[in-house]
Structure 1
Amino acid sequence: MEDSPNPARTLHRIAEALGLPPDIFFGGDDRRTDALADLAAMAELLRLWSALRSDVDRARVLSQVRDLVKQRDN
């Protein structure tokens, strides 16, 4: 018999995968608003990534993002 879906467990898994505390989904504070805005931006980035059909374009995007992260870390 299959387990029934558990929304709370699913949200905990999503939060864990994103490195966020699970309570981020269950409050009305500014942190929650910021986290949801970040999630929306991540979803947009994934949609845009999937719209790229060229391996060359994807390689360019990855290179640019890596450079941005490197600059931030230095």
Structure 2
Amino acid sequence: MEDGSDPARTLRRIADALGLPPDIFFGDGDRQTDVLADLAAMAELLRLWSTLRSDVDRARVLVQIRDLVKQREE
């Protein structure tokens, strides 16, 4: 690409960061649908996170998420 970006490389990096195989972005099927729905939810979570301006509010959110994860692991 003229701007120096490599879309395939970018998708591989995103997949790697999420612990997913890169082909999830290219195939079809139920698994891809589930993953794309999860990605949409993650994007919403990040968007909401970015609207929090208070460090206290962000700390509260992290505590709640950590508690949820801990409960699932027990």
CA shift, 1:26, in A, is: 0.6
CA shift, 1:60, in A, is: 0.7
Q: Give me the TM-score of the superposition, normalised by structure 1.
A: 0.91
C-alpha RMSD of matched pairs (Å)? 1.5
Structure 1, gaps ≥5 residues long: none
Structure 2, gaps ≥5 residues long: none
CA distance in structure 2 between the aligned counterparts of 1:65 and 1:21, rounded to whole angstroms: 25
CA distance in structure 2 between the aligned counterparts of 1:18 and 1:67, rounded to whole angstroms: 21
* Identity value in percent: 81
CA shift, 1:33, in A, is: 0.7
1:31-56: CA deviation from partner (whole Å, max 9, x where unpaired): 11111111110110001001011111
Counterpart secondary structure, 1:50: helix
1:5 aligns with 2:9: no
Q: Give me the TM-score of the superposition, normalised by structure 2.
A: 0.91
1:10-41: CA deviation from partner (whole Å, max 9, x where unpaired): 11111001000111001111111111111110
Moved over 2 A (4+): none
